[in-house]
A = this chain, B = another copy of it.
Amino acid sequence: MADRLNVREGGQPIYDIVIGKDFENLGEELKKLELQERRVCIVTETTVGPLYEKAVSAVFEKMAKEVHVFTFPAGEGSKNLDTVKNLYLFLIEHHFDRKDLLIALGGGVTGDLTGYTAATYLRGIDFVQIPTSLLAQVDSSVGGKTGVDFDGYKNMVGAFYQPKLVYIATDTLKTLTEKEFLSGMGEVIKYGIIKDEEFFCYLENHAEDIMKKDPESLAYIIKVSCDTKRKVVEADFKEQGERALLNFGHTLGHAIEKYVYEDRLHGECVAMGMAGAAYISFKKHYISREEMNRMIDLILRYQLPVKENRIDMDKVIQTTYSDKKMEAGKIKFIVVKKIGHAEIDKSVDWMEMKQALWCIMEGKYNER
């Protein structure tokens, strides 16, 4: 039996997130989409495609009118309007109309790109997400954010658009590199810190099972992560208030990610951003030194970084202030009031952020 969550909008059920071990239950889940008369285009990239495209295609071949596969070069470099245009042309060439369906098979780039194409082709066609990275499974499964990078800016062009189904097969995590898996753990830890102390404790106590990719532990942490994001997002679909909490660790993390180096993954930068945000929360007397250290220890337990000495301080601060999460010139910084409870704080200034960045550069949080 696969685990299942239902995501709603304005009280209405809109789609299920199904978490299974492999693709065994995918066919069953697709039945309600009535594919007999519909064309399907599986969108994937050059790393994930060779691993899973055949297995997934086989399921659709049995049910859909036609199955086509569009493969683009793996990597963030493909997440732009040129790839979207190529996909539009592919769909036009194969006569896709508004009743047809896209399938995003891959990580975050594939999901964002496919979702955005689905949102805008013929003013919107259905799509299904099959996220294969831990980060995409716990982050992109909920919230309807789609988009591509533009002119050097991340997610500058996009839309809010919901999938018809998200199907997660935890076995796909076995083919992920360790670095990518741990990057996903950065976001998982975030959910514990901002909303769920019990889950934070689970992550402290089950690190060994998780690190060796025990299927049940993986299904559990994915389910809790998606469910936490679901609760936050359902209360706030257009990102006005509560949803901002999901940016915990991201204000500094995004800025570090953007300017400083190419060898760090998103979750690694978020890990450093979370350590910095924990430090700021401690300095503002919201949490004790012990609580700060418990968070930093959990990050380290999952082999995620809290130290990076190659930071260009001024550029990071500048980027932070030009971030699209700004509101009327003030940064909506997310602080922790206790483990399992984060809040928006508009009083965090550049001096406090600079101090946090010094901690990250030195990897020392207890000496200032």
Q: A residues touching B (Cβ–Cβ < 8 Å)?
A: 10, 37, 81, 85, 88-89, 92, 95, 97-99, 119-124, 145-147, 150-151, 153, 155-160, 322, 324, 326-328
Contacts and interface: CB of A to CB of B under 8 A. Distances in A.
A150 B91 CA distance: 12
For the complex of A and B, list the 6 residue pairs with the smallest distance between their C-beta atoms, beginning with the closest.
A123-B158, A120-B157, A37-B328, A122-B324, A97-B324, A120-B159
Max chain B Cβ within 10 angstroms of own Cβ: one of A95, A120, A157, A159: A120
23 contacts: A81-B81, A81-B85, A85-B150, A88-B150, A88-B156, A88-B157, A89-B151, A92-B150, A92-B153, A92-B156, A95-B322, A97-B324, A98-B324, A119-B159, A120-B120, A120-B158, A120-B159, A121-B156, A121-B157, A123-B146, A123-B158, A124-B159, A159-B159
Contacts of A88: 150-151, 156-157
A93 to B, nearest CB: 9
Given A10-B10, A81-B81, A121-B156, A151 B328 contact: no
A97 B326 contact: yes
Given A121-B156, A122-B158, 15 more contacts: A88-B150, A88-B151, A89-B151, A92-B156, A98-B324, A120-B120, A120-B157, A120-B159, A121-B157, A123-B145, A123-B158, A123-B159, A124-B159, A124-B160, A159-B159
A151 B96 CA distance: 14
Contacts of A95: 322
A47 to B, nearest CB: 27
A123 B326 contact: no
A37 B328 CA distance: 7
A41 B206 CA distance: 53
Contact of A327 (B99, B119, B326): B99
Nearest to A117: B157
Contacts of A146: 123
A88 B80 CA distance: 13
Contacts of A122: 156, 158, 324
